[in-house]
Amino acid sequence: MEKKRNKLYVIAFAILFFGLTFFAWLKPADEFSATERRPLDQFPTLNAETIFNGKFMAEFEEYTLDQFPLRDAFRSIKAIMHLYVFGQTDNNDVYIADGYVSKLDYPLSDKAMDNAIKKFQSIYKSYIDGTDANVYYSIIPDKNCFLAEGNGYPTYMFDDMETYMNNGLSNMTYIDIYDLLSVEDFYYTDTHWKQENILDIAVALGTAMGTPLSSEYEKVTLDTPFYGVYYGQLGLQMEPDKISYLDNNLFENCIITNHENGQKIPMYNMDKANGRDPYEMFLSGSLAVITIENPNATSNKELVIFRDSFGSSLAPLLVEGYAKITILDARYLNERMIEKYVTFDTQDVLFIHSSSVINNKTAFK
């Protein structure tokens, strides 16, 4: 009896173990993980050099992790175990609170803020100082600022970041938008704010820069499900968000140029809306230099925005008041290249970034 049981035990376990093994060996390699939004590692180069320097072994391990069969299902199992069996409050620093998924952003890093201040001041001193440009900066509070404290997650005080940045950027005018935002203004599964909820932010920024904005927009909601960046990091099944954008006839005559390749791009890129990251539909995502020329603007003013991805959905709402907006991403653009795209004289200049980007040590390194 015991012998038979042991035999059955071994056979059953062998079926499970070798089943998974052969599945792992025979499954064709995937190129890309849609949930994690990243390319997956492929089989590494195998030769004497890569074996003896250990490179093959290191890369093979990465390859096997990336290409393991049912990878997303296994990641979900891990997240369920972590959150619901072990009762851990976050999984890979990502947590769910009030139905929103967010990422721990703690503690406040002086080094990260110093990096941001240094970068902004360097741009200021190199190009703006001595001109008649009006320089503003604003910080977009991260979703975490509205979720973490009330739900028992560690966070820093946004006021502390404001104070630190104000000290470092005292030659610029700070535009406070904290009170205009709440957690409802963010997607459930993504880090970003919803464009349809930030019209008041655009108006506040415009007003602070002396450019009143009053256009009305039509809200268009896409059918495509929007699985935000935190969805993939969390590893749990969740309802997707819906992505909407604000449209206006004004945009039809705008000329939008991607200066990375000189090509014209749409204000809202519908190909990207159906792509791996639908949020990239706003001004085609993370491009280093974009200009928007608006022949029907209410003024001849120009605006230069130094921004992160949040700025992609904000910039269209500022178009009404400016004949030209130059949008730059200081994280990806070599500082010395700025003069190629902008000659600073009387423009409005706005540095606007998310608090999570400012608190990231590598963002402005």
Partner 1 sequence: MLFSSIPFLYYFLPVVLIAYYLVPKPAKNMVLLLASLVFYGWGEPSYVFLMMASIGLGYVFGILIEKFRGTNWSKVCMIISVVISFGFLGYFKYTNFFITNFNVATGLSLPLLNVVLPIGISFYTFQLVSYIIDVYWGKVVAQKNFVILATYITMFPQLIAGPIVRYSDVEHQLIGRSITFERIAYGIRRFCFGLGKKILIANILGEYCAAFKATDEKSVVFFWTYAIAVSLQIYFDFSGYSDMAIGLGSMLGFQFIENFNYPFISKSVTEFWRRWHMSLGTWFRDYVYIPLGGSRCSTSRLMFNIFVVWMLTGFWHGAEWNFIVWGLYFGILLMIEKSFLLKWLEKYKVFGHVYVLLLGIISFIIFDAANMSAASQHIGAMFGMTDIPFVTGITAYYLKSYAIVFVFAMIGATPLPKLLIEKIREHKVGNVIVRVVEPVVMGVLLLVVTAYLVDGSFNPFLYFRF
Is residue 43 a contact residue for partner 1 (CB under 8 A)? no
Rounded to the nearest 5 degrees, what angle is found at the Cα of 60, between the Cα atoms of 55 and 61?
Answer: 105
Is residue 24 a contact residue for partner 1 (CB under 8 A)? yes
Q: Which residues contact 99 (CB under 8 A, 6 or more apart)?
A: 188
The CA–CA distances, whole Å, from 288 to 217, 269, 285, 341 equal: 27, 16, 9, 11
Q: Which of 28, 39, 43, 86 binds partner 1 (CB under 8 A)?
A: 86
Q: Which residues pair with 352 in a beta bridge?
A: 138, 307
Q: Which of 30, 41, 90, 162 binds partner 1 (CB under 8 A)?
A: 90
Q: In the window 152-191, what residues touch partner 1 (CB under 8 A)?
A: 152-154
69 cis-preceded (ω within 30 degrees of 0): no
Stretch that binds partner 1, among 26-34, 38-46, 148-156, 356-364 (CB under 8 A): 148-156
Contact 139, 306 (CB under 8 A): no
**CA-based Rg of the chain, rounded to a whole angstrom?**
24
CB-nearer residue toward partner 1: 75 or 259: 75
Q: Which of 33, 35, 42, 92 binds partner 1 (CB under 8 A)?
A: 92
CB-nearer residue toward partner 1: 17 or 332: 17
Is residue 26 a contact residue for partner 1 (CB under 8 A)? no
CB-nearer residue toward partner 1: 60 or 158: 60
We find the least distance from the C-beta atom of residue 23 to partner 1, in angstroms, to be 9
| Binding-site size, partner 1 (CB under 8 A) | 45
Which stretches does DSSP call E strand in the chain?
A: 32-33, 38-39, 94-97, 100-103, 134-140, 173-174, 218-226, 241-247, 255-258, 263-264, 289-293, 302-307, 324-328, 348-354
Task: Report the Cα–Cα distance between both ends of the chain, in Å, rounded.
Answer: 68
Q: In the window 220-249, what residues touch partner 1 (CB under 8 A)?
A: 235
Is residue 288 a contact residue for partner 1 (CB under 8 A)? no
Select from 202, 95, 193, 226 the least CA-distant residue to 149.
95
Q: In the window 100-129, what residues touch partner 1 (CB under 8 A)?
A: 107
Task: Work out whether strand 134-140 and strand 348-354 pair parallel, antiparallel, or are unpaired.
Answer: parallel
We find the least distance from the C-beta atom of residue 204 to partner 1, in angstroms, to be 32
Which residues bind to partner 1, rule: CB under 8 A?
2-3, 5-7, 9-10, 12-13, 16-18, 20-21, 24-25, 51-52, 54, 57, 60-61, 64-65, 68, 71, 74-79, 81, 85-90, 92, 107, 152-154, 235
